[in-house]
Amino acid sequence: MEPREVVAADQIDLSDIGFWERPLDEREGAFQLLRRERPLAFFQEPPVLPELALFVPEGPGYRAVTRHAHIVEVSRHPEIYQSGKGATSIPDMPEELLEYFGSMVNTDNPRHAQLRRIVSAAFSPRMIKSIEDRIEFVANEVIDRIATQGRCDFVVDVAARLPLEIICGMMGIGPADYGTVLRASNVITVSGNAIAGAGDPEYLPADADPLVALLEASQQLTTLMSDLAETRRSDPTDDVTSALVHSNIDGESLSPAEVASFFILLVIAGNDTTRNAISNGLLAFAEHPEQRALWQADPAGIAPTGVDEIVRWGSPIIWMRRTVAEPTVLGGEELAPGDKLLLFYNSANRDEDAFENPYAFDVRRAPNPHLGFGAAGPHFCLGAHLARQEIDVLFRQLFARLPDIAVTGEPDRLRSTFINGIKHMDCAFTPTAASG
């Protein structure tokens, strides 16, 4: 795939869902043009649905940060470019929602460091090790469920299952609640776009009020987690929820409400992202059979570089927002307090100043300074290690057990300006026995 520059810079509108429905080579052409000519281009915000205007104020617009070097610089200065002012979504978050989404991704220091310390302690080496064993187990089970069928919807049956079951297991949520978590997670993922009238009708019906749907889905997850947190407080096990309610970092632990808010963050940050990395990975293999052959011939040798190439290639989170806290200069342009910046990680991941042959999918790419997990700074992805492990294990097991798995249909893409998502993707393979 090579980028095609088919429109002038003036005609590009990253706030228009129509832009995101253009063919990929045209979108890549637009980002190439922006990086070269307008690396901090200004865009109006997508219009909020009229019925929500009372809750979600009309915003002043944002600048699209499209160069790798600029995103690295912004992420190194969290005191100037903040995450807690109004949140990391395009519109400022209404008060009603901050209760649910006041987790660390939307906070700054000192609160952010405090929350991250507590949560990181829960991801102890022992915990990570036990999760690693579980990834092997769940991946095997997920493949078992489809192995004899000869075909599947790869996203629904495989890519969505592994991260969902890992995160739920980590927190101590049982299989009876997986369906609730999955549905709520889908609603939350698209509702940000739906508030701007550009949701995905499969996950959120067009006649549904996105704010109500978002509140309901968040409330469902909050109830589930607060109940569990209460139980673990009196009766701890070895799960992350128990660790969070009993952690004692500088005399602090998380309240059940804070555990619930962290869980919602995990569901948003860790679930759909990993699902989409895996789905985009299989699609990349279908489009680049020679890269797939390299991986299949030597999974242990290729995975250490290949997994990060899958994340660079798919860039599951397209952007995150920062808000300027004090007068500053970026790329020679003056910025004022309150200015919104969208860090386009997808664009940074194709920046020709940071990558050789950025449009080549190369599973042996090294170095690979991609920003798929964010850039170095306080908000760098907490689950990067876990996500890498899930992608590695899944493809190792998949290629060992269903070596001829092939994509047989066009991927059905998520309608979103924020998540590079695939909702369905038909696959076929030679049926094989379940592992027993």
Q: Which span (52-60, 135-143, 372-380, 401-409) binds ligand HEM, by CB under 6 A?
A: 372-380
Distance of CA 174 to the CA centre of its chain: 23
Residue from 88, 89, 189, 347 touching ligand HEM (CB under 6 A): that is 88
Residue from 78, 372, 411, 421 touching ligand HEM (CB under 6 A): that is 372
Residue-by-residue DSSP string for 149-179: TSEEEIIIIIITHHHHHHHHHHHT--GGGHH
Q: Which residue's Cβ lies closest to ligand HEM?
A: 383
Token pair 């829960």: residue: 122
Q: Which span (65-73, 248-256, 291-299, 381-389) binds ligand HEM, by CB under 6 A?
A: 381-389
Q: How many CB atoms lie within 10 A of CB 22?
A: 16
Interaction between residue 105 and ligand HEM (CB under 6 A): yes
- Site map for ligand HEM, 242-281, x if CB under 6 A? -----------------------xx--xx--xx--x----
* Tokens, residue 31: 């980002």
In angstroms, give the least distance from the CB of 387 to ligand HEM.
4
CA–CA dist 187, 218 (Å, integer)? 9
Interaction between residue 383 and ligand HEM (CB under 6 A): yes
CA–CA dist 377, 72 (Å, integer)? 9
Cβ distance to ligand HEM smaller for residue 199 or 270: 270
Cβ distance to ligand HEM smaller for residue 199 or 372: 372
Contact 81, 105 (CB under 8 A): no
| Cα angle 23, 69, 74; round to 5 | 105
In the sheet that holds 319-324, the strands lie side by side as 40-43, 62-65, 340-344, 319-324, 81-82
Inter-CA distances, 24 with 5, 314, 323, 407, Å? 11, 12, 29, 18
Residue from 188, 214, 317, 405 touching ligand HEM (CB under 6 A): that is 317
Cβ distance to ligand HEM smaller for residue 168 or 187: 168
CA–CA dist 198, 183 (Å, integer)? 19
Interaction between residue 102 and ligand HEM (CB under 6 A): no
Cβ distance to ligand HEM smaller for residue 192 or 270: 270
Residue from 62, 203, 344, 373 touching ligand HEM (CB under 6 A): that is 373
Q: Which span (195-203, 243-251, 370-378, 410-418) binds ligand HEM, by CB under 6 A?
A: 370-378
In angstroms, give the least distance from the CB of 82 to ligand HEM.
11
Contact 54, 293 (CB under 8 A): no
Q: Strand, coil or helix: what is 427?
A: strand
In angstroms, give the least distance from the CB of 75 to ligand HEM.
7
Inter-CA distances, 229 with 105, 150, 172, 223, 263, Å? 21, 41, 10, 10, 11
In angstroms, give the least distance from the CB of 388 to ligand HEM.
8
Size of the site for ligand HEM (CB under 6 A): 27
Residue from 311, 318, 394, 419 touching ligand HEM (CB under 6 A): that is 311
Interaction between residue 374 and ligand HEM (CB under 6 A): yes
Contact 346, 34 (CB under 8 A): no
Residue-by-residue DSSP string for 88-125: SSSSPPPHHHHHHH-SGGG--TTHHHHHHHHHHHHS-H
Q: Is the torsion defined by CA of 276, 382, 378, 263 positive or negative?
A: positive
Q: Which span (137-145, 185-193, 219-227, 314-322) binds ligand HEM, by CB under 6 A?
A: 314-322
Q: Strand, coil or helix: what is 332?
A: coil
In angstroms, give the least distance from the CB of 165 to ligand HEM.
12
Interaction between residue 379 and ligand HEM (CB under 6 A): yes
Residue from 46, 102, 192, 316 touching ligand HEM (CB under 6 A): that is 316
Interaction between residue 93 and ligand HEM (CB under 6 A): no
Please state the length of the chain: 436
CA–CA dist 136, 393 (Å, integer)? 6
Interacting residue ranges for ligand HEM, rule: CB under 6 A: 83, 88, 104-105, 116, 265-266, 269-270, 273-274, 277, 311, 316-317, 320, 345, 372-374, 378-379, 381-383, 386-387
